[in-house]
Structure 1
Amino acid sequence: MILLFIQDNIRCDWLTGIICEVTTMGNKGLIWLVLLLFLLIYPKTRKLGMVAGISFLICVGVAETIKNLVMRPRPFLSMAELVPLVKPPHSYSFPSVHTVSSFSVAWILLWSQEGKAVRYTVFAFALLMAFSRLYVGVHYPSDVLTGILLAFLGSYAVWRWQGHKTK
């Protein structure tokens, strides 16, 4: 299984510290809320911040609803050999809300007119956040992939509805 492969072959001391910090930044969507705040503060990016914020709220709301409907247990509860590297979450596993919150903002920025460095850095950080959930052992790969897809669909709908207002 992928999670055990990561645990047995990729985890190492220097990387674990970094990945645990990254995953912690995603708790409650904190890093993304801070980014949204910065986008909203500056007049040049305010409209983009509003669109990304709408995407964040809708996507996270849908993900939390699905999570509580599906009620999938965390992988470390069904795989005794999997050791989580962070305090085990008490919520359900499917989908990964860390991933949804990350990509709900990252997709919007990727489609925007912001500079390439900003767009690609945010998108790369969203990918790292998604990977971190696997690395720390609190999500199945399908939780993360579904989170990326769910955020894509929600963000795309918001972008089609409001994206033209970012210019």
Structure 2
Amino acid sequence: MDGAILLWIQENIRHDMVTPWVLLYTSLGSFGAVWAVGAAVLAVVPRTRQMGWLALLSLLFSGLVGEVIKFIVRRPRPFLQIEDLTALGSLPHSFSFPSGHTVCAFAVAFIIWRMCRGWQRWLVMILAALMAFSRLYLGVHYPSDVLAGVVVAFWGSCFVWRYRSKIGL
């Protein structure tokens, strides 16, 4: 089913006018860069300092757990397994499961969701979901990789949230 979803996206959603924007957006998420910068900015503003530090810790912890899982599972990328799938952009050389872009995006988003009210919490979830979808659009992750990334980020952010007082936040 994973492969069928990717092929459906390739055939029905990809568009030449959209692809450059998806490539740009997904590149901002490499190594969690845009999420780390956003969390760091929050961490230096007195009013959002706690949220920023918790988001950074969630990003680091969840990202580390995701990388360990990736090393253990060692799932090949879908463009290496699905004959008719064409990956777009630079091809990653790491393993596929879970999606690191998704882990990083949602690790920060789940903390902000807990700590904000109103439109900010929805905005960050939409941005995280777009990051996750970009990985499917480009054909570099299976849907189950993305789903696993959300789960890893959820549990990682819950761990950071639960122990925030023990780490002085």
- Which range, TM-score by smaller chain? over 0.9
1:24-66 Cα distance to aligned partner (Å, 9 max, x none): 1111111101101110110111111111111111100000001
Give the TM-score taking structure 1 as reference length: 0.94
SS in structure 2 opposite 1:153? helix
Deviating runs (4+, > 3 A) in structure 1? 163-166
Aligned partner of 1:136 in structure 2 is 138
Q: Which amino acid is the alignment partner of residue 148 of structure 1?
A: V
Supply the AA of the counterpart residue of 1:52: A
Identify the match of residue 107 of structure 1 among 98, 105, 110: 110
Q: CA deviation at 1:115?
A: 4.2
For this pair of structures, how many residues does the alignment match? Answer: 165
SS in 1 for 2:32: helix
Shift of 1:80: 2.0
CA distance in 1, matches of 2:38, 2:122: 14
Q: Which moved more, 1:134-143 or 1:155-164?
A: 155-164
More helix by share: 1
1:12 and 2:12 are equivalent in the alignment: no
The sequence identity of aligned pairs, in percent, is: 47
Q: Is the 8 A contact 2:135 2:141 kept in 1?
A: yes
Please tell me whether residue 156 in structure 1 is matched to residue 169 in structure 2.
Answer: no
Point out where structure 2 has 5 or more consecutive residues left out of the alignment. Answer: none
Alignment of 1:1-167 (within 5 A): 1-112=4-115, 114-162=116-164
Q: Write out per-residue CA displacement over residues 52-85 of structure 1, whole angstroms, 9 at most, x where no aligned residue.
A: 1111111000000010111100000011211111
CA distance in 1, matches of 2:120, 2:21: 21
- Name the SS of the counterpart of 1:14 in structure 2: coil
Gaps of 5+ in 1: none
Amino acid at match of 2:161: W
Q: How large is the Cα RMSD of the aligned pairs? A: 1.5
What is the distance in 1 between the residues matched to 2:110 and 2:162? 12
